[in-house]
Structure 1
Amino acid sequence: MPLCSRSLSFSRTITSCTDLFGTLRCRITFIMGNGSARFTMTAVSKGPGLWLIGLGPGDLGHMTSYALQVAEACDKRYLEGYTAVLPSDQEEKLEEIVGKWDRVMRDDIENPEDILQQAQSSMIGIMVVGDPMQATTHIDLKIRCQESGVPFHIIPGLSATSLAVSLSGLQSYRFGRQVTIPFPYGDYLPTSPLEMILTNHSNKLHTLVLLDLDPTGMGLAPPEPMLPEQAYDILESMIARLETSQDKEVASLIGPLSDWNAILLSDIGTVRQRVVSGSFSDISEIKGGGIHCLILPTEFSGMEKEVFEHLKADM
């Protein structure tokens, strides 16, 4: 079947168009004049290949109808379980709405020979929390499929990063490069996340800070999301290391860590969602919640300051 097929017919006041988007065939009939338009869709056409299916963040209510159709149509489904976490109640719901699934971890994705072999003859779905192409390992998976001749499809999902920016109330165009704070692993503690935060600050850009999910650094065990208090302590260690290695005082560039403005976003996309602002020292003491991320604002513009102050009321 071709990637795209189109048929057009004209009969005075009626125009009909049939399109194939991926494997979803749509027929749209336009009735001119005083008539109304009719829109119909056929079911997903099954076929071998690998489908990366975005679930959206948190609640499965964010999952698109197309993602639901594709996931249900798959011969075998996997839930990728190391770049993000789906709440346990939503994991149970996922099986109810799309069918049985197995969990895959980092090694399964980075060494996907078994999955690719299955996709040669079956419709295989890998379901990913958020948007599936936010992780570099998933981009590598696309390349591996192309090299192996396996049909590859992407079903986008709402990303947690875009949702976090929206919920903060800050202007999206004023964000710089996002960073991830990793767990220390032995003596390994990179200072590059801190350096990027400083670069964004000097350019008057806000920073979205993702928090690590894997203390082992291996991606093999169930995720253990970093807590705000841990993120604060790790950044303190980064500051000490950077000041020692580069002989510069970070506080002179951005102020003491305890006084940094911060927005904490917890369990976004779920009914337990919480978004609060304050000083970093106050934010770090907040308890509860499962998965967190931070936004470190730079100088505010327009109504951003008012929004930031309003979020303090939720602490």
Structure 2
Amino acid sequence: MDEEDSGLWLIGLGPGDLDLMTVAAVEKSKKCDYRFLEGYTALLPDNQLEKLTGLVGGFEKVMRPGVENPKEILDLAKKSKVALMVVGDPLQATTHVDLQLRAEALGVNCHIIHGISITTIVTGAVGLQSYRFGRQVTLAYPYGEYLATSPFNLILENRERNLHTLVLLDLDPTGMGVEIQKPMSPKVAIDVLIRSAKKIGVDIDDWKIVLCTDMGGENQTI
């Protein structure tokens, strides 16, 4: 892999604390000619950004338009070594799977360096078994009067099968993926669940919820 002089590397940074970034991820990122930090699907804490520069060198942040319409990235990868660094594991989001498929369709070599993911951390940290989890969902911000209830319906489907649900909280109040991220607060998340339940006509008063923040880091809280 190191002998190749061009291609795309999708590199997982781990859960947000760069002390948990693998040696392979650091070394490959350093060797790439261009480095991009994907800032759309996950958030790297501000105090880790300078640390990332020190570990791998300079990089450019790329948001939703640059990932979902990746002409610049793929054009560079045809003739240079390009790293797209992703918080967590690079194949956790369908956005990056799509990017991998686009690269391969264009004949661009695409390599994956996996990272520690929230999905592997949180299940054990809260004392639950991973095989008892159903499909994970992302709870989206409401947009004006519009409230997406599809995430809530997926939670209901998991409950009907006696499965837990890992619910990820939205980072983008605008839905455009271009502005500074604003992680959804627990208060907003509970409000979205209550409004969704009321809209569908479901009683959630007896639901048990475990709130987890900063998982995998020194400020991890459950």
TM-score (norm 2): 0.96
What is the CA–CA distance in structure 2 between the aligned matches of 1:131 and 1:224, rounded to whole Å? Answer: 21
Q: Are residue 271 (structure 1) and residue 218 (structure 2) matched? A: yes
Q: CA deviation at 1:46?
A: 4.6
Q: For the Cα contact (< 8 Å) 1:46–1:74, is it kept in 2?
A: no
Partner residue, 1:86: 44
Q: CA deviation at 1:188?
A: 2.4
Q: Are residue 195 (structure 1) and residue 153 (structure 2) matched? A: yes
Q: Mark the runs of 5 or more structure 2 residues left unpaired by the alignment.
A: none
Q: Are residue 184 (structure 1) and residue 142 (structure 2) matched? A: yes
Q: Which structure is richer in relative contact order (CA contacts within 8 A, separation 6 or more)?
A: 2
What is the CA–CA distance in structure 1 between the aligned matches of 2:143 and 2:106, rounded to whole Å? Answer: 35
Which whole-Å deviations, capped at 9, do the CAs of 1:20-56 have from their partners, x for residues lacking one? xxx1xxxxxxxxxxxxxxxxxxxx3351011100001
Q: The residue matched to 1:199 in structure 2 has which SS? A: helix
Greater gyration radius? 1
What is the CA–CA distance in structure 1 between the aligned matches of 2:49 and 2:68, rounded to whole Å? Answer: 23
Q: CA deviation at 1:263?
A: 0.8
Q: CA deviation at 1:186?
A: 2.7
Q: Are residue 172 (structure 1) and residue 130 (structure 2) matched? A: yes
- Aligned 1:1-315 pairs, distance under 5 A: 23=1, 44-243=2-201, 250-251=202-203, 255-256=204-205, 259-275=206-222
Q: CA deviation at 1:269?
A: 1.6
Identical positions, percent: 52
Q: Mark the runs of 5 or more structure 1 residues left unpaired by the alignment.
A: 1-22, 24-43, 244-249, 276-315
Q: The residue matched to 1:265 in structure 2 has which SS? A: coil
What is the CA–CA distance in structure 1 between the aligned matches of 2:137 and 2:73, rounded to whole Å? Answer: 30
Q: CA deviation at 1:134?
A: 0.9
Q: For the Cα contact (< 8 Å) 1:213–1:224, is it kept in 2?
A: yes
Q: The residue matched to 2:138 in structure 1 has which SS? A: strand
- Show structure 1 runs of 4+ deviating over 3 A: none
Partner residue, 1:10: none
Which whole-Å deviations, capped at 9, do the CAs of 1:47-67 have from their partners, x for residues lacking one? 101110000102111111111
Indicate the structure with greater strand content.
1
Q: The residue matched to 2:11 in structure 1 has which SS? A: strand
Amino acid at match of 2:16: G
Q: Which moved more, 1:200-209 or 1:94-103?
A: 200-209
Q: CA deviation at 1:195?
A: 1.6
What is the CA–CA distance in structure 2 between the aligned matches of 1:113 and 1:129, rounded to whole Å? Answer: 22
Q: For the Cα contact (< 8 Å) 1:50–1:125, is it kept in 2?
A: yes
Amino acid at match of 2:209: A
Q: For the Cα contact (< 8 Å) 1:75–1:122, is it kept in 2?
A: yes
Amino acid at match of 2:102: R
What is the CA–CA distance in structure 2 between the aligned matches of 1:202 and 1:112, rounded to whole Å? Answer: 39
What is the CA–CA distance in structure 2 between the aligned matches of 1:78 and 1:225, rounded to whole Å? Answer: 21
How many pairs does the alignment contain? 222
Q: For the Cα contact (< 8 Å) 1:49–1:150, is it kept in 2?
A: yes
What is the CA–CA distance in structure 2 between the aligned matches of 1:193 and 1:180, rounded to whole Å? Answer: 7
Q: The residue matched to 2:176 in structure 1 has which SS? A: coil
